[in-house]
Structure 1
Amino acid sequence: MLALINIVAMIANAIIFLVIIQFVIGLLFAFNVVSPSNQFLMQVYRSINSLLDPVLRPIRKILPDTGAIDFSPIVLILALNALIFILSDVATASL
């Protein structure tokens, strides 16, 4: 049981890491630090978007439209951190 909880926590941490990378690359593009014509970084950004879009789309449907600001990554990070916290609580309680 503990191994399964650790695997789920590792996957959740990997998703959080991908959300942060997506955010940083998006900022680099938005503030013209890196040109969107940079093939490598644009491909990395598209790949991360294609991985995270199925997870973020249901959150975006629930949240109200806030214009240009997308709060769904923040909600996803908070939900995954809550999941990790709950799972670690379950793991310590079962010992």
Structure 2
Amino acid sequence: MGYAIVWLVNTVLSLMTWAIILSAILSWLFAFDVINNRNRFVAQLAMFLDAVTGPILAPFRRVIPPLGGIDISPVVAILTLQFLGILFNRMSAPFLIGVFG
């Protein structure tokens, strides 16, 4: 059970990291007019990624101003998620594995 909890937390952190990366790439593709959101699939994908990553990126966007039109909040959010993953694996995972097996 402990291994399953550790796996679940690590998987969620990994999926959130990939969602932030995909959201950033999609925003670049919109900005450089490579794709447009008139395509229904692209618009739904963009809305989904915004809904998933918005709550994570919003606190960082409030604190970090855009630097010359470049938003670095996804980079800070990914670094924070990586930090939380390492912290969880070093501190909480051994306890969960020890207690639940």
TM-score by length of structure 2 reads 0.78
Give 2:87's aligned residue. 86
Matches for 1:1-95 after TM superposition, within 5 Å: 1-90=2-91, 91=93
CA–CA distance in structure 1, aligned partners of residues 32 and 61 of structure 2:
24
> Higher relative CO (CA 8 A, sep ≥ 6), structure 1 or 2?
2
Cα deviation for residue 14 of structure 1 reads: 0.6
Cα separation, partners in 2 of 1:50 and 1:67, compared to 1, 3 Å: farther
Check the 8 A contact 2:65/2:71 in 1, yes or no: no
Deviation sequence 1:11-52 (CA, Å, 0-9, x none): 111101111111121122222221232221021101110221
Who wins on radius of gyration, i.e. which is larger?
Answer: 2
Cα deviation for residue 65 of structure 1 reads: 4.2
Matched length: 95
TM-score by length of structure 1 reads 0.82
Deviation sequence 1:39-81 (CA, Å, 0-9, x none): 2102110111022111211111122343521111111100111
RMSD of Structure 2 on Structure 1 (CA): 2.1
Q: Which runs of 5+ in 1 are unaligned?
A: none
